[in-house]
Amino acid sequence: MRIRTAAPLALAATTALAGSLLLATPASAAKHQGGVHLGKIQYDSPGKDTRSNASLKAEWVEIHNNTKSKVQLKGYKLKDNTGYTYTFGSYNVSPGKTVKVHTGKGTTSPGHVYWNRGSYVWNNTGDKARLIKPSGALLDSCSWTKSGTGTKNCH
């Protein structure tokens, strides 16, 4: 008799817990992926780290606009743990689009901006990218702790 009574109670508790987890998961996922956020990061450019401009341009951070409106990134900052900072000039990201911030030198084009640095920013063994609003508020961050594949998907 106790088993029959306990089983429905356990089933009800499990169902309630699962239901609350299912309700919580989409909200937390939507919160992280909503708005403007960090996407994929190529923190270790493919091949040897030669400090050539081609290698430096192959190190990048994606910033994704997951809104339904164009977003002006002027004044937004991208920072690493050391304090290296890229500050956006006037640049619009269309709804659902991504812009890559390349470490090396290049000319701004749709979907690509360049930090114009002569040395790497992102540490292969661990670092943290921070996207900061012009107001100084942290908008998003993404970190990694070891080299692995050299990429990090921050979604």
Task: With H, G, I as helix, E, B as strand and everything else as coil, classify residue 103.
Answer: coil
pLDDT digits (tens, 9 = 90+) for 57-97: 999 999 999 999 999 999 999 999 999 999 999 999 999 99
**The model scores a pTM over 0.85:** no
CA angle 71–77–82, rounded 5-degree value: 155
Task: With H, G, I as helix, E, B as strand and everything else as coil, classify residue 118.
Answer: coil
Query: DSSP of 28-64, one letter per residue?
Result: HHHHHHSSEEEEEEE-S-SS-----HHHHHT-EEEEE
